[in-house]
Amino acid sequence: MGRLVARRLAAMIAVLLGLAVIVFILQAVIPADPVRAMVGASAPPQIVAAERHKLGYDQPLPIRFVDYMERLASGNLETSLRTRNPVASDLATFAPATLELALTAAAIAAVVGIGLGLALAAGGRIARIIRVVLISGASLPTFLTALLLIVVLYSKLHLLSASGRIDPTISAPGGPTKLLLLDSLLHGDLKAFWSAFTHILMPAFALALLPALAIGRTLATSCEQVLREDYVRTARAKGLREYRVLLKHTLRNASGPALTMSGLQFGMLLGGIVVVEQIFAWPGLGTYLDQSIAYADFPAITGTTLLLGVAYVLLNFVVDLAQAWADPRIRTV
């Protein structure tokens, strides 16, 4: 296990280094003028030049690269050209919303995915219906799912909210985790909890749908293979009920491929966050990144990219650990 952790840490450093270099190269080759974007197009040339000098954008590329890497190595993510705040502070503002959305979506994806997978593996008429749902659902792009949810659950049925994290007239609990669902419970503020809950359901479900379907399909296939194993036959011969066979003797052994798929899907879920946050006016990293791109706010883009890179690596690390739990042979590899 120790070796696994060490390998993952080394991989994370390599990924971050690679990301940092790629982001810098992109900054250098993209024909954009972030300083003009920052000060405004109509700004007089003298002010643009002064700002360019202040930010070091008039330095030769190699010097900028060395400065950039030195700053990153010391944990300095620079200052956003748009918000004028330290990027680290902006990330601390926006990341909790994304984390809460991603965790909720991951939980929904896991529960729905496992449910679908087991239902499919159990066979019967319900399985056939679910198979149709899986196929048709997998062809729905995330933004369309989001839109359908808004139209039905917000516009038609008035059940859920379509924008933001919480009703603007309710004061959001101020911490300690910055995750509104958790914080409102910790503060015993049920009104805030209910508002946050009704706000997060649609975006989380929109994000979770495709991963859930993929996890469900993979788990079902894996379960079907395991169900053909001798020890399962033995279990059935002992007279165990089918659901016990499925839950006690099949699920854990079939979970390896589903966990691998979860890692991939949760990574893709991070990619879908930008679109979902836009549609649901969710004040997270996706919104921050989108706004930063429009300004060519390279420090903000770099910071967000690196943070998402760390999240992706950590996520896969967690999946590795889960796989090691599910299959002890992996721990010794």
DSSP letters spanning 131-162 = HHHHHHHHTS-HHHHHHHHIIIIIIIT--S--
Find the binding residues for other proteins in span 222-281 (CB under 8 A): 274-275, 277-281
Residue 37 or 88 with smaller CB distance to other proteins: 37
For residue 160, the minimal CB distance to other proteins (Å) is 5
Residue 180 or 311 with smaller CB distance to other proteins: 180
Q: Please work out the total of residues on this chain that contact other proteins, with binding judged by CB under 8 A.
A: 69
For residue 328, the minimal CB distance to other proteins (Å) is 43
For residue 33, the minimal CB distance to other proteins (Å) is 4
Block residue for tokens 């896991």: 110
198 forms part of the interface with other proteins (CB under 8 A): yes
Residue 295 or 330 with smaller CB distance to other proteins: 295
Find the binding residues for other proteins in span 199-228 (CB under 8 A): 199
The one-character DSSP state at 168 is: T
329 forms part of the interface with other proteins (CB under 8 A): no
What's the chain's Rg over C-alpha atoms?
24
Rounded (10°) angle between helices 87-122 and 251-279: 130
Measuring CA to CA, which residue among 307, 310, 303 is closest to residue 87?
A: 303
290 forms part of the interface with other proteins (CB under 8 A): yes
In the chain, what's the furthest Cα-to-Cα distance?
86
For residue 28, the minimal CB distance to other proteins (Å) is 13
88 forms part of the interface with other proteins (CB under 8 A): no
For residue 240, the minimal CB distance to other proteins (Å) is 43
For residue 156, the minimal CB distance to other proteins (Å) is 7
185 forms part of the interface with other proteins (CB under 8 A): no
Measuring CA to CA, which residue among 84, 85, 147, 96 is closest to residue 283?
A: 96
Tokens of 148: 């359908």
Tokens of 126: 């319900």
178 forms part of the interface with other proteins (CB under 8 A): no
Distance CA 46, CA 57 (A): 15
332 forms part of the interface with other proteins (CB under 8 A): no
- The 3-state DSSP composition of the chain as helix, strand, coil percent (nearest 5) reads 75, 0, 20
59 forms part of the interface with other proteins (CB under 8 A): no
Question: Within 10 Å of residue 188's Cβ, how many Cβ atoms?
Answer: 9
203 Cβ contact list (under 8 Å, min separation 6): 101, 105, 146, 276, 277, 279, 280, 282
Stretch that binds other proteins, among 10-18, 91-99, 103-111, 322-330 (CB under 8 A): 91-99
Q: Which amino acid is at 41?
A: A
For other proteins, what does the binding mask look like between residues 9 and 48, x meaning CB under 8 A?
Answer: ---------------------xxxxx-xx-xxxxxxx-x-
- Give the length of the chain: 333
Is residue 86 helix, strand or coil?
Answer: strand
Distance CA 71, CA 27 (A): 16
For other proteins, what does the binding mask look like between residues 113 and 152, x meaning CB under 8 A?
Answer: ------------------------------xx--x--xx-
Task: List residues binding other proteins (CB under 8 A).
Answer: 30-34, 36-37, 39-45, 47, 50-51, 82-85, 90, 93-94, 97, 143-144, 147, 150-151, 154-156, 158-169, 194-199, 274-275, 277-281, 283-284, 287-291, 293-296
